[in-house]
Amino acid sequence: MSGFINLVKVLFRNYYRGVDLSEISDLERREFGFQFFDKEGMIRHIAFRNGDELRHYLISNVPSHVYYSSALYNDPANQDMDAKGWLGADLIFDIDGDHLPTQNCQGVELMTLECLNDATEEVNKLIDFLIEDFGFSDSSIKIFFSGHRGYHVHIELPDVRGLTDEERREIVDYLLLRGFDIERLIRGNTVLIDAGLRGIGGRLASLIHELDPDLLSTLSNDRRRLSKYVIRKLKSLNPIVSERLSTHVDEVVTMDVHRLIRMPNSLHGKTGLRVVRISPSDLERGVEFVIDKAVQFRKGSLTLRLIKKLPVRRVLGEDVSGDEGSIVKVPTYLGIYLVMSGWGEPVD
């Protein structure tokens, strides 16, 4: 196994020689953290004056995972958090397939296209919230494939960097529709539920049309004060609305103003995939296209022995089959993923 790790380190080192660091804004103000193939734990409270210093560190040390702070600091290398001099933090959202309550993601250890597709649906819902409800522009929202089973969404505007953890909690509560009550959208004969509205009112109208078209017709045509019966019927939809329209973000990541998040264009040590920026149009092209953008090590192949039977036939866009103990020959990038995530072992 040590020979395999050495091979992976060579591949990672070669990648970092030409890594694109342009996605890292305010690099000199951020704290960096690293994990390594041959060491336990994380080394953090490291700072760099420029991209050349960071690239030199990556080439010299070859970390398995690279993180940077969502926060900007006066003194990012200071190990005393209170002495770092917090200047603000990007608004970060993390959507992880591991945490989604869907059938495709629950209890699935392997990274599957089906689970990643569910995560893609969640990130599309999040982007809709950010644009339609919060008023962010397309250009202010950066979307990154996390390198594993989800996405990170960054907003780096000066206006959001000063938000406190409590203010970020309110944003999370809104995205999760925590405590949502449909009656709040009804004020006398004013009903803020209509397909022509932006934000929650428009999404809610579409959902009601799916669940009960007659109820939506009543809301659209009756301009008088709604009857108690209609209001009760609407309120009965609250649990369904919260389940279907909320977006499942990791609330701790968003609220933590000192959070470390995976560095853009770094390699994920458990998969060998790149933390790559993607566009909304990339998402529309499907999860196999997203993975294709993240794949780095296409040359050559690796021979593995499967440690356990794969629960799916298609892994990272490649057909792989075999029971426990089967010998398989796979592309290098897929071999790295299967070994590093514990599904296979290299055959010498």
Catalytic residue list = 94, 96, 250
Distance, first Cα to last Cα, the chain: 9
Core vs surface per residue 234-269: b (16+ CB within 10 A) or e:
beebeeebbeebbbbbbbebbbbbebbbbbbbbbbb
3-class SS at 168? Answer: helix
Distance CA 69, CA 73 (A): 9
**Among 190, 176, 179, 182, which residue's Cα sits nearest to residue 129?**
176
Helix (H, G, I), strand (E, B) or coil at 313: coil
* Nearest in space to 85 (alpha carbons), one of 33, 31, 32: 31
* Cβ proximity of 101 and 165 under 8 Å: no
Could you write out the three-class secondary structure of 89-110? ECEEEEEEHHHCCCCCCCCCCC
Q: Tell me the β-bridge partners of 290.
A: none
User: How far apart are the C-alpha atoms of 64 and 36, rounded to whole Å?
Assistant: 5
Cα–Cα–Cα angle for 67, 290, 345, rounded to 5 degrees: 70
